[in-house]
Structure 1
């Protein structure tokens, strides 16, 4: 690309963009409108307008505050400009990831007990039909080339403390408003221990090696997938595919995704406001750009689902329909929220 290249079109050709260093220099030059060998905030804004577009080429709106924050990440000497040396990090750590993400598709707990068994979401207040996620997920697996696919499964022993039938087996903390003798299904209790554990009481579900713990028989299983079994410690629950509820132990998922260079985690499954939501929150905390595939999820409570979505978006996660995912995986639909999230991670990781 020459010095007179049209900056607005610079990020259209992904393969051309991410070749050798001359592409980095061409990118810098394309947005250095006044040719002073540095990018001002205004010129960086032009870069961002070209970078953050949907797959039809329409720019996304970007808040001025977030633009300024992202600019400050790369203006390391704080002189109000990004020079060519500073732009090297902007190019290698930020632009390359935005344009060419590495994706993981994390399919959470699409198990029989959550669909038609003892804890079927159709019997919960939102009255969702869990089986409806299966064809949506299968279509995504058939049509989208994810770099990594992972399946998580609840995998409880019979004596798990989350089962209402076991409530008398575990000592209550004095702060628990519900006592063991009075505890009912879906009550919230507080168990004693280190740490103290707040626990919703569920019916027995997803017991190891049972029919209820099996994935739905129609769910597509791909080769070379990662398998995450969680909740096998009887003394603590594990909603997330990353950690138990107290973040004492991890499942190894984060490490395996990092080993594969994953930048973007797409999450779906059952239930939106419980295990899917906990997985997405931990994904954000672990530094992955995180996307919930809304139509590939079903949940328990409509109110809690909405609360979860607001939490995810407040933390620079994104909620999308599955039909939008392919272009995001291919780097053609580039969301400013995810770019902002990545910039903040680079800021926080940068040595003082």
Structure 2
């Protein structure tokens, strides 16, 4: 009887130990986000150096991830083995030697500090009269405006992008049917010029490798329809600037970084990248219209340029559900953080730190296969 009781007692203790161990938080360093300095850097190194050999091996470095990618509100670490492995591969810790304090200090300064102290900007894409209430209104598009107004309170820097088209722009269905506009078409996609209408596609001879969707005339330069929607509340913004796009009559521009010719062609870029760089912006948050065109394209270019990119899904409006899902998958595949407006304050203040954001930064710093960063004067 005594033996049986003792066995049950030991089993209960073991069960409690297993529960406590399995449910406890991973090894985690508590960052003081208000005072990130050399003392905290040195303390983190000592924390990670478990065997006290004054070097950090790959196994020890892995303990950093539970601290670095963490939500204070939810009191949980973001666990993503794939991203963790990719970051470790980029950092390339020598398997036998590990990294010493000097190497760790470099990683701290180039990577960890930005994760803990990002500089963020909100990019409000094309919330203009024509898309809200004008010539090309997005159904229920105005519903995101109150959300955007609340979001802007979280940012010192807010960017407003504008479609800013000449009257004869190649994206206008009206331009195709205007006899005074001579712009040869080489592919009508099973239509004819006479039957082309909004939503159809063409390829113009001037840019034969680019497919152009046709839209109603919208956001013509200096028109009332091209102005920001009047219910956007800009009064409290400390630092705001505008970016115009789509000004070349022969090529469209979805991304706010460049027209569809690409961000790596200096002649095709807007001022946005250099404007952000001059402010030291590391993180961009996307909102506006349309999900599958201008907002999504801006986010993808931001990721290519190495910006840690968050896509605020409930503050973006789509036009076509199928294309929206395709864009969402593209964003996810390229490590955008897909979030909601409720997440923004914690992320901007770094009390919510996503592994996708950490990977994008690591890839910018240590990646070898990225395109060169366009230079700013």
Is the pair's TM-score, using the shorter chain for normalization, greater than 0.5? yes
Number of residue pairs aligned between Structure 1 and Structure 2: 335
* Residue in structure 1 matched with residue 143 of structure 2 by the alignment: 132
Q: Which moved more, 1:106-115 or 1:49-58?
A: 49-58
Q: Name the CA distance, whole Å, in 2 between partners of 1:213 and 1:23.
A: 49
**SS of the residue aligned with 2:34?**
helix
2:214 counterpart residue number: 201
Alignment gaps of 5+ in structure 2: 1-24, 371-377
In 2, distance between residues paired with 1:308 and 1:80? 43
Aligned counterparts, 1:1-352, within 5 A: 8=27, 10-16=29-35, 18-20=36-38, 22-56=39-73, 57-63=75-81, 65-75=82-92, 77=94, 79=96, 81-122=98-139, 129-142=140-153, 144=154, 146-168=155-177, 169=181, 170-174=183-187, 176-194=189-207, 196-221=209-234, 222-247=237-262, 248=265, 249-348=268-367
Distance 1:326 1:153 in 2: 26
State whether residues 313 and 338 of structure 2, in contact with CA within 8 Å, keep that contact through their aligned partners in structure 1.
yes
Residues 160-169 or 325-334, more deviating: 160-169
Query: Are 1:102 and 1:147, in contact at CA under 8 Å, matched by a contact in 2?
Result: no
Structure 1 match to 2:20: none
| Cα pair 1:107 1:267 within 8 Å, conserved | yes
- State the 1:66 CA deviation: 2.8
TM-score, normalisation: structure 2: 0.84
Higher mean Cα deviation, 113-122 or 277-286? 113-122
Deviates more, 1:163-172 or 1:26-35: 163-172
Distance, in Å, in 1 between the alignment partners of 2:29 and 2:277 is 29
CA contact 1:165–1:204 (8 Å) conserved in 2: yes
Structure with max Cα Rg: 2
RMSD of aligned Cα (Å): 2.1
Q: Which runs of 5+ in 1 are unaligned?
A: 1-5, 123-128
